[in-house]
Amino acid sequence: MASNRSTVLKKSFLTVMQYVLWAITILLGLWCLLVARGAINVAYILTFANQWVLRAVDRFSLLIMGIIWLVAIIIVEDYLGKGVDRGDLYKRFLKIAGAEVLFGALMLLVTATVG
């Protein structure tokens, strides 16, 4: 009886952690989106001078990246949920978070280098 209760508590804790980690990846993804937007704008300003086209590039790139971010949110939630079932939730989170931090750092480097 105690073993069953322990298993249920562990599963419940991991499920709560899944959604906490999911929220963290959502915020990291939003950070990546904003940093990428800045990198795109800086790169465009240095290559072209038309402000009207810059606005269009800014808006469309934000729309496309926002759609990608939304799809990624859905995929990550499922991916982390499978991590709870398989017992590798934290490993999966670190893979996702590491990729997001690496991408964001790369975009910051592009912005700093080009700008």
pTM for the structure as a whole: 0.86
State which residues form the domain around 27.
2-114
Domains in the chain, number: 1
pLDDT per residue over 66-94, tens digit each?
999 999 999 999 999 999 999 999 999 99
Report the alpha-carbon distance of residue 80 to residue 26 in Å, rounded. Answer: 12
Q: Which amino acid is at 56?
A: A
CB 78 within 8 A of CB 2: no
Report the alpha-carbon distance of residue 85 to residue 52 in Å, rounded. Answer: 50
Res. 1: pLDDT tops 60: no
Q: Which two tokens stand for residue 18?
A: 């899944």
pLDDT per residue over 23-39, tens digit each?
999 999 999 999 999 99
